[in-house]
Amino acid sequence: IIEEGPVTVAPRETVKELEQAARRLAKAVGYVGAATVEYLYSMETGEYYFLELNPRLQVEHPVTEWIAEVNLPAAQVAVGMGIPLWQVPEIRRFYGMDNGGGYDIWRKTAALATPFNFDEVDSQWPKGHCVAVRITSEDPDDGFKPTGGKVKEISFKSKPNVWAYF
């Protein structure tokens, strides 16, 4: 399974529409916090279709973290502790807002941050590109049920911006 980000096949204006639709959905169901909204996008027609809203971390969250430079587990914990999402430094930076900076970024941001309306600001276009590959063991001829098997050989080239976990 290959996960890739950021979106490369949809125009930026469409990506902005996807973000706005995701916020409308979260508001409609009363969700507050960091979440993933997934869509299916047709390159042929330019249309997109809602798939799901995930209020939990997904296995591909490192792709989002890499390109958005947001520590999603930390953001979710902060919201769970009652800190508003607009006050999380990495979220503020992602939306182009002043985020304090420095080693004591949380203290500075908490003291100086002012609320902002997510609907009135644009997120920053992600920096870089990320591809994550997940190896699964499923049998497509048996309804994609988990199945056993052996990986006989695997090789990763270690680099500062390439990592693997098992």
Q: Just list the catalytic residues.
A: 56
The span from the CA of 35 to the CA of 26, in Å, is 9
Contacts of 61 (CB under 8 A, 6+ apart): 36, 72, 73
The span from the CA of 70 to the CA of 65, in Å, is 5
The span from the CA of 120 to the CA of 125, in Å, is 16
DSSP 104: T
Let me know: does 28 contact 35? Beta carbons within 8 Å: no
Let me know: does 163 contact 65? Beta carbons within 8 Å: no
Cα distances (Å, whole numbers) of residue 8 to 29, 72, 107, 148: 29, 22, 36, 35
